[in-house]
Amino acid sequence: MSQIDVNQLNQAKANVTLTQELLTKAIEKANSDPILSQEAIKQASNEISSALTAVTQVQKSTQVQLPE
């Protein structure tokens, strides 16, 4: 079994934290500035995608190859 890449997990964690901040901004600006709110949602979506990619890479690198 391979070692877990803690750096990639930390990157995923940072992406999630930024996502939370962006979604908070989107909620706060939903009524007063819908364009800014939409942009924050787009950025949050990108951060979620980046976090998922990092976690998936870690998961794949730690999977044991089973013989067929």
User: Does the pLDDT at position 57 exceed 60?
Assistant: yes
pLDDT in tens, 11-31: 999 999 999 999 999 999 999
**Percentage of residues of the chain with pLDDT beyond 90:** 82
The encoded tokens of residue 7 equal 């750096």
The encoded tokens of residue 63 equal 């999977």
Sign of torsion over alpha carbons 23, 27, 29, 31: positive
